Amino acid sequence: MSDAYAVRDNILTHHFSDGSGCIFFDPMDNSMVAATKPVEELLNKEKSESDEQHCHIINTLLIHKMITKL
């Protein structure tokens, strides 16, 4: 995960063996969010305000409470 974002401590994360991406699971409300490989790559970049796609994805994940901004 990048310097800008981190998975919350109690979130379970699984990276699939085929390299297609990862899945986040929040045991607090049993919600689940998938991040396909391009998303993972974006998460591993520094956030860029001009990167609308990046912001949209991060926002989506934030809505699902999986990611905490550091």
Partner 1 sequence: MCRRIYGDRFTHSIQPSEFIDFRIGIKYPNFTRRFLKPQVQFSSEGLVPFTPLPADYAFAMLEWGMNWTVAMYEFQRVIIHSAVLAKDDYAILLPAPPGSGKSTATAYLENNGWRLLSDEMALITKNTTQVTPFVRPICLKNASIDLCKQMFSHGTFSETAYKTHKGDVAHMSPQRHSIEEQSTPANIVGIVFPQYSKDILLDIYPMDKTSAMVKFSENSFNFNFLGQQSFETNVHLIENTRQFELHYSDLSEVNAFLNEEFCK
51 binds partner 1 (CB under 8 A): no
Q: Could you tell me how far CA 4 lies from the centroid of its own chain?
A: 11
Please, are residues 67 and 55 in contact by the beta-carbon 8 Å criterion? no
11 binds partner 1 (CB under 8 A): no
Q: What are phi and psi of 52, to 5 degrees?
A: -65, -40
Comparing CB distances to partner 1, the nearer of 35 and 58 is: 35
Please, are residues 24 and 12 in contact by the beta-carbon 8 Å criterion? yes
Query: Which of 32, 44, 48, 56 touches partner 1 (CB under 8 A)?
Result: 32
Residues that bind partner 1 (CB under 8 A): 12, 14, 16-18, 20-23, 25, 27, 30, 32, 34-37
